[in-house]
């Protein structure tokens, strides 16, 4: 058990945050305790009894302990904050008014506009390389009400959807109508990354953006290399750039 976690580099060398480290440690301790108490070898414990010896209630208890200690999760899906405001860090833009909203990521790479008026406003992890860069209109899609509206009226041509749900469930009904996607969470192996790859839609995951407003003209460096599993494990940047047309 201990050797597995010590030798495995599946999850990279460092935890994403102290909260992630605390949660993982609590889960590992739970597994160690139940494994030791079972009296079984590892294979029998995992394949025969683990689903009975470790329950959803156990994970809920860990979650509760984290919250009681004052931890709050960083959200990736807006619905998480709406449904469990006590468990997540506060989020911007929970209402439908996007007139003055933009993601403002502290790690966004920004630069002044060039001679053509293009200003770098962020980076992201490219899911699949394309032959040409993509230019389109930025539109935030952040709630089921917005998705329903687009289902009713149709998604405007050339829409580059900016979303925070890396799972892909929220936008699945209209995903194939997007020209491109910028997602503030997840990795290229997240559900949304898989879906956009299958649909042939340019997509940046883990997008760190700043200054993009609803209706801005944006450009994605879709010609950049796709980020690899090794790059995630080693914490190595393989970022594709995002620009907006300054006005």
pLDDT at 16: 59
- For the cut 80, the answer to whether the pLDDT of residue 94 exceeds it is no
Q: Report the pLDDT averaged over residues 189-201.
A: 94
pLDDT band at 238 (very low <50, low <70, confident <90, very high): very high
pLDDT digit string (tens) for 134-162?
999 999 998 888 899 999 999 999 999 99
Q: According to CATH, what is the number of the domain 118-245?
A: 3.50.30.10
Q: Distance between CA atoms of 225 and 227, rounded to whole angstroms? A: 6
Q: Is the pLDDT of residue 180 over 80?
A: yes
pLDDT at 125: 96
| Confidence tier at 183 by pLDDT (50, 70, 90) | very high
Query: What is the distance of C-alpha 60 from the center of its chain?
Result: 22
Considering the entire predicted model, what is its pTM?
Answer: 0.70
CA 73 → CA 64, 104, 122, distances in Å?
A: 12, 18, 23
Question: What's the confidence (pLDDT) of residue 91?
Answer: 61
Burial class (CB in 10 A: 0-12, 13-18, 19+), 160: buried
- Residue 70, pLDDT > 50, answer yes
Judged against a pLDDT cut of 80, whether residue 247 lies above it is answered with no
Q: Which secondary structure element, helix H or strand E, spans residue 241, and what is its range?
A: strand 239-245
**What ranges do the domains of the chain cover?**
2-71, 118-245
Average pLDDT of the residues in 212-225: 97
Position 6 scores a pLDDT of 38
CA atoms in the 13 A half-sphere facing the CB of 60: 3
What one-character DSSP code corresponds to residue 57? H
What is the rounded CA–CA span in Å between residue 245 and residue 239?
Answer: 20
pLDDT band at 59 (very low <50, low <70, confident <90, very high): very high
Give the pLDDT score at 133: 98
Asked if the model's pLDDT at residue 9 lies above 70, the reply is: no
Is 170 a residue whose pLDDT tops 60? yes
What is the pLDDT of the chain when averaged over all its residues? 86
Adjacent-strand bridge partners of 159: 137
Other CB atoms within 10 Å distance of the CB of residue 3: 7
| pLDDT at residue 185 is higher than 90 | no
Q: Answer with the residue of higher pLDDT: 140 or 93.
A: 140
């Amino acid at each position: 058990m201990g050797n597995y976690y010590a030798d495995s580099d599946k999850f990279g060398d460092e935890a994403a945050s102290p909260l992630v480290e605390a949660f993982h440690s609590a889960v590992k301790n739970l597994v160690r305790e139940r494994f030791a108490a079972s009296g079984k070898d590892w294979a029998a414990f995992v394949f025969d009894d683990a689903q009975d010896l470790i329950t959803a209630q156990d994970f809920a208890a860990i979650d509760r302990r984290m919250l009681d200690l004052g931890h709050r999760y960083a959200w990736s899906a807006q619905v998480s904050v709406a449904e469990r405001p006590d468990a997540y860090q506060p989020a911007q833009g929970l209402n439908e008014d996007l007139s003055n909203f933009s993601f403002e990521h502290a790690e966004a790479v920004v630069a002044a506009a060039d001679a053509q008026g293009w200003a770098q406003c962020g980076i992201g992890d490219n899911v699949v390389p394309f032959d040409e860069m993509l230019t389109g209109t930025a539109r935030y899609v952040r709630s089921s009400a917005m998705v329903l509206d687009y289902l009713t009226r149709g998604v405007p041509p050339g829409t580059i959807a900016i979303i925070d749900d890396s799972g892909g469930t929220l936008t699945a009904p209209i995903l194939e109508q997007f020209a491109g996607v910028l997602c503030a969470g997840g990795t290229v192996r997240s559900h949304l990354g898989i879906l956009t790859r299958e649909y042939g839609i340019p997509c940046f995951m883990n997008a760190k953006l700043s200054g993009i407003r609803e209706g801005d003209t944006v450009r994605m460096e879709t010609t950049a290399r796709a980020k690899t599993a090794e790059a995630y494990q080693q914490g190595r940047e393989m970022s594709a750039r995002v620009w907006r047309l300054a006005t």
